Amino acid sequence: MPRRTLRLARLARLARLARLARLARLFLLAVAGCVLATACAGPSASPATSGAGAAASPAAPGAVPAPAVASGAVPAASELPAEDAALSGIDVLFLTTMAAHSERTLEIVRLARDRVTDADLRTLAAAIEATETDELSSMRAWLPTSGPAGAAAGHHHAGHGDDAALDRLRAATGVDVDAVLREVLADHQRAAAQLARAQVDAGRDERVRELARRVERSRTAEVELLTGQPG
């Protein structure tokens, strides 16, 4: 490969990693802000109680099915919180950010799935597509549609992800498609695991935190499968 091409590839990778790091930092700053605001406001109200005790809280969603990556079931829209069961700002922020991230994941996978030559990679890509399609549907149903939280949830995440990485994937041919897909997808899923890890630490709604735990586990496992190294 010409030296200039190698240099440009290295610069593109550095730029991509910088953007992912910036995304993680922005989310962590938002987490810190929400935690600080919560601390200043005092403890949140406990669930409504009556008579002898409190009403049972809704069960946490099950794990997402995906061959060799995750297991369980994505919660149906009917199992999600009612519109009047308001999510906290940090929970809405996580769901909105992760939904945008999953949209980009699907774009990456669908861009390369018909050109992948390695059978194991093709199977993994199909599992990721199935998992994140279901997760995306559930997150969209979970997000509020009205009020201030609904406005935040509807925020358009322009520029989310790395367009230079998509350009590399489009331009790749032959066996290079597999190598570029592994690199691009591993970086992307590593960022998702970092976002989910932050939500587990700072989220308010236990159901959203459970989703974040599953995202962190599945994306970490995917990175290990894509790179052959611990995520």
| Whole-number pLDDT of residue 231 | 61
| Whole-number pLDDT of residue 12 | 53
Out of 3.40.47.10, 1.20.1260.10, 3.90.550.10, 1.10.630.10, the CATH code matching 60-227 is: 1.20.1260.10
| Whole-number pLDDT of residue 10 | 55
**Interacting residues of 196 by C-beta distance below 8 A, sequence separation 6+:** 94, 98, 212, 213, 215, 216, 219
Burial readout 75-105 (b: 16 or more C-beta within 10 A, e: otherwise): beeebbbeeeeebbbbbbbbbbbbbbbbebb
pLDDT at 153 over 90: no
pLDDT at 167 over 50: yes
Q: What percent of the chain has pLDDT over 70?
A: 55
Contact 125, 106 (CB under 8 A): no
Contact 59, 65 (CB under 8 A): no
Over residues 148-153, mean pLDDT: 52
139 or 27: which carries more pLDDT confidence? 139
Q: Kindly report which listed range (67-81, 143-157, 175-189, 215-229) carries the lowest average pLDDT score.
A: 67-81
- Summarize pLDDT for 187-207 with one digit per residue, the tens: 999 999 999 999 999 999 999
Contact 65, 79 (CB under 8 A): no
- Summarize pLDDT for 14-25 with one digit per residue, the tens: 455 455 545 555
CA-to-CA distance for 189 and 101, rounded, in angstroms?
9
| Whole-number pLDDT of residue 68 | 43
* Residue bearing tokens 């802000």: 33
Would you say the pTM of this structure is higher than 0.75? no
Q: What percent of the chain has pLDDT over 90?
A: 51
Contact 53, 47 (CB under 8 A): no
Q: What's the mean pLDDT when you consider all of the chain?
A: 73
Q: Say which DSSP state 54 is in.
A: E
